Amino acid sequence: MKKFDVLVVGSGAGLEVASNASEKGLSVALVEEGPLGGTCLNRGCIPSKMLIHSADVAETIRSSEKFGIKSKIENIDFASIVKRVSGAVDTDSAGIEKSLREAGNPTLYKMHGKFIGPKQMQVGDEQIEADKVFIVGGTRPSIPPLPGLATTPFLDSTKALKLEKQPEHLVVIGGGYIAAELAHFYGALGTKITVLVRGEKMLDNEDEEIADWFTKEFSKKYEVLFKTEAEAFSYSENTFTIKLKDDGGKITADQLLVATGRRPNTDILDVAKTGVEMDDKGYIKVNEYLETNVEGIWAFGDIIGILPFRHTANDQVGYSLRNAFTDKKVPFDPFGIGHAVFSSPQIGGVGKTEQQLKKEGIPYKVGRAELKDTGMGGALQENGLAKVLTDETGQKILGCHIVGPQASVLIHEAIVAMKGNGTVNAITQSVYIHPALPEWLQRAFFAIE
């Protein structure tokens, strides 16, 4: 069995740990079955946002007449859009692999690996072990075991980013952020969209008011069927047939996207063989130092299920390195880590939602502002809602949520304030440029009561 100082499983944020450890002169093994760069680069945030920008451009053109500009889209070169994005992503991934192989350390095992002991792994025909292990194995699409689905050529979120022929009619199963983003991408480029949502609204993990607002606006653009579930699937002559529950009839389409969440890769990595504890959904349990219950094994990123975003994992890299390679442990603090949904309209959020505060019995105050009541709202001829939640003194920011144009950018005002002194004064005592878009968020802070 080949011995290393460090074993890293996963080449997303785990790549930073592997590189840092090798720079320290430690021998490192990096196990990655897929293309280098992890989910974000290859099948997540990078390609999806590159594709979505094309959709945003198309939507801007289609809405130009409200500004007195008549325009039309003559052609959508869908294959070219996808090819450009895939080419850029594949080039970056190949570059990472080339650099690793030229460096020699870390040693790259570009193949499937499975744990066979606490710090031991089978990779191909070889067995390896290490003193320190970092499990950064990520997640994958979760596909429900519905009758007939597995026998159809349906799309998951990975395949949907590589599809070279634009569908005429796309049925999307799911109401989360992946469903919202990919439906926007295809829909804005001209595909007919039908979304099947099990609940009463889309994005039900967001603040309720924000989710309601998004659901209303999104439903104006696309067909969204609420309280609707698929019961069975079939595929024939390039057509999907989706049978709905409760005698809801059937829907046919030339393409089907299943976006029903994600699941951790702990099962396919056989993490149970390490003795590491997991929760009932398979996510790895860690303490505040990102340590597992097995000494010498750390885990972070999506596989631990805490704010599963690439920027979270990037932040956790530093904590993992300090806690594994220095004498002073530093606890990871998830406070003030935000997120965004790059659909139309956009959503940006950070901290607690109002329903979470109610459930936890935490006293709070609320401030709200609509974009239409600002100068830039009139210029953009758009509306949206900005909402801030504070403690009962009206000073400490507990959460902030935005739905509307540039929400993914504006939310950083609140993130910076929360990560800084965490008080409302950071926003209300600043002098904002008039009539710039950030005034909208500031008005929500002034409205706290």
Q: Any idea which residues carry the catalytic annotation?
A: 434
Question: For residue 226, which amino acid is it?
Answer: F
- Please tell me whether residue 414 adopts helix, strand or coil conformation: helix
122 - beta bridge partners? 114, 127
Backbone angles phi, psi at 448, to 5 degrees: -60, 130
Cα dist. 316→29, 312, 404 in Å?
20, 6, 30
Contact assessment for residue 284 and residue 299, using Cβ atoms and an 8 Å cutoff: yes
Q: How far is CA 198 from CA 70, 143, 262, 386, in A?
A: 39, 15, 16, 27
14 close to 108: Cβ distance less than 8 angstroms: no
348 in Cβ contact with 405 (< 8 Å): no
Determine the straight-line distance between the first and last CA of the chain, rounded to whole angstroms.
64
Mutual orientation of helices 439-446 and 407-419 as an angle, nearest 10°?
Answer: 50
Pairing verdict, β 126-135 and 120-123: antiparallel
Residue 79: count of CB within 10 angstroms of its CB? 12
Helix/strand/coil percent split, the chain, to 5: 35, 25, 40
Amino acid identity for residue 392 in this structure: E
Residues 46 and 419: their CA atoms lie apart, in Å, by: 25
- Residue found by looking up tokens 């901290």 in the block: 351
- Calpha distance 318→408 (Å, rounded): 24
